[in-house]
Chains A and B, each alone.
Chain A
């Protein structure tokens, strides 16, 4: 579903991503982990079409992001690490606006269920300035979910959510994957990664240090031998 080949990106002299290649098949949840500055957010921004890579190719369901950007972007849903919202649009208007841009056929049918899923039904007329951090995060997630994307790119999606919101979001990610959505999830919360992801990619200095299922990564363990995913990732990043 999402295929990345030889992706590279530098900011002046600083190499952010160096020849990254991986696949996220339909129905799989892939975790992107790594230290701060490892290139996770840069990778997600490139995949979302917000940054142009220096080299490499990104295809979304066969559509090349460089040559068919609109076709590829219509299939993507992106949630940045900080909820970016328009000051002057209400919760419902945000969702309607995004539905219009992504060509959702019947937004009136889709909206009530999505608002209920996000627990924002009572705040549908509120502006972002009137929402808590967690509610803003939920709205950002709603904006990415409104068009039922085939590929979901999530950058720290659980930040700011309350326990109920976290549980619901985990369930939503699982159900999206079960319905065939390819999910790429960047997170520092390794217990979440272990719980949700079918495969983990460990990034360091813009390169893939290791990839495999959480159990496989944990099994490698590095110098300390087999241990938890956290031990393994810490060893890889050391």
Chain B
């Protein structure tokens, strides 16, 4: 039986490599890989400057352990690890009925995941080992492999426990509360520590590293990370045992849990039938599609998590200000404003409750008695509102957090007008960004499908190239509105309402451009060939 499993794994790997090689005959994957290589080269080039002089400090250990703890906690909260070992159709039909144990089936899945763990370990090693000798590099690669594999196993175990608990309502709530408690404990603990520590992030982390409760909570995470920061072979060997022990315990845990024999919908990760406002029985097709795509958003479990995180971010500045830590609140505020800008630029790639959700069903949509532009407008409008809401929430939270700041970039007396100006352009810019992504679904369907894949260098490169091109196109779209707004700015210089007026003019101009895009894309949608909409083939077994 072992030979059969070995045969399956080796042949699958060989066929996958062949498939990937044949994929490179097309320009899309070649561009994607080139973008990924350029990105890694960029990181490797700049990483020596970013590396701390002495990584084995208590502060670095606390930061690393905190990061690992947040990742582990989010696995319990989101349950995304289940996807890693989800059985595909062939495995379900052919492996489960075969006379092999559930543990062996799990081994097959874990072996397949090793490609990702090994690849990531090598990548992180390459990025952090400039100028080191070979022995150190090998030790570091092994240490990275331990961290990544342990985290992977922990994510799987968390998802499997959640999935098993999903059958029992009480246990399900306990597991859910455990995840929320773990995640909530981090900001609570940090807030408590902030109250005591001196100003500055380093002072906070130094205090944390000396705090006995923090050390106890972070201890297992530190154990896993310690081989990474060993400065000699002897130290590395001494630290290896506990880390390997934790890895082994995780492996035994996951193997004992076994694969998911039947698809039990996890209420915390599966879409819910949460009530939505009823769809009116008559009206435009665009409004019906808008309603449908809003349903796709609010019924995703991650919507609840996103709303919780947003609420926490809105509350956190108030908490910080109430304990007299205005410095931390202002720091957080600047971070939030930066995230708002990043979300506006990069968000269209990831907010996908639009035509990208229905990419496998475009043929069916073509059979409906609705004009193409109505489908485009409804789908893109829903995603744009989602994105704009996120950006505006971050802007408001950032503004609230920097309320005490006297930074010259945000003069207190003009803040309200600038905030209004920002809010006025966020909606149209979001719609433009989303429309560019939806244009890819219609004009470059194969490329657009590649952006949905995850976990490979090709997918990373695809997303990087996609973002770069989308931002470039967005910048071109904004040229005329920007010129108009600039003209108005020069004509009305000195007026208090000027920023809002310019933003309004720019918003109207962008909206007009968006309408032109919607009409054009609608026409293209109606002329699409169904043959190019077939899902990209993926080798699974």
Contact = CB atoms under 8 A, between A and B. Distances in A.
Contacts of B292: 86, 88-89, 97
Interface stretch (B102-110, B240-248, B363-371, B474-482): B363-371
A11 B299 CA distance: 38
Contact of A97 (B271, B272, B288, B367): B288
A101 B369 contact: yes
Interface stretch (B120-128, B274-282, B398-406, B487-495): B274-282
Contacts of B371: 70
Instruction: Give the contact-size bracket for chain A.
Output: 35 or more
Contact of B530 (A51, A73, A97): A51
Interface stretch (A74-82, A171-179, A212-220, A225-233): A74-82
Interface centre among A50, A76, A84, A129 (most CB of B within 10 A): A50
A90 B367 contact: no
Contact of B281 (A11, A80, A104): A104
Contacts of A69: 369, 526
Given A100-B279, A108-B281, A50 B296 contact: no
Interface in A155-211: none
B288 A101 contact: yes
Contact of B295 (A88, A104, A126): A88
Contact of A101 (B271, B285, B366, B529): B285
Interface in B390-429: none
Nearest to A85: B361
Interface in B264-299: 265, 270-273, 276, 278-283, 285, 288, 291-292, 295-296, 299
Contact of B367 (A78, A106, A127): A78
A102 interface: yes
B358 interface: yes
Contact of A88 (B265, B271, B285): B271
B531 interface: yes
B527 interface: yes
Contacts of A106: 281
Q: Is the interface of B mostly helix, strand, loop or mixed?
A: loop
Interface of A: 11, 45, 48-52, 69-71, 73-74, 76, 78, 80, 84, 86-90, 93, 96-97, 99-104, 106-108, 125-127, 129-130
Interface string B337-378: 000000000000000000001101101101111110000000
B246 to A, nearest CB: 35
Contacts of A71: 369
Nearest to B297: A88
A97 B279 contact: yes
B529 A51 contact: yes
Nearest to B363: A50
Contacts of B282: 100, 103
A50 B364 contact: yes
B304 to A, nearest CB: 14
A87 B368 contact: no
Nearest to B353: A88
Interface in B474-516: none
B288 A88 contact: no
Contacts of B364: 50, 78, 80, 84
A165 to B, nearest CB: 21
Contacts of A90: 273
27 contacts: A45-B363, A48-B366, A50-B367, A69-B369, A70-B369, A78-B364, A80-B363, A84-B361, A86-B296, A86-B358, A86-B361, A87-B296, A87-B357, A88-B300, A89-B292, A93-B276, A93-B279, A93-B295, A97-B288, A97-B291, A97-B292, A100-B281, A100-B288, A101-B285, A101-B368, A127-B273, A127-B299
Given A69-B526, A100-B279, 5 more contacts: A73-B369, A84-B360, A88-B295, A89-B295, A100-B288
B529 A88 contact: no
A11 B367 CA distance: 20
A154 B259 CA distance: 38
Given A73-B367, A86-B292, A50 B279 contact: no
Contact of B265 (A89, A102, A125, A130): A130
B288 A50 contact: no
A129 B271 contact: yes
Closest 10 CB pairs of A and B: A73-B369, A50-B363, A48-B367, A88-B296, A50-B366, A74-B369, A88-B299, A84-B364, A51-B530, A70-B369
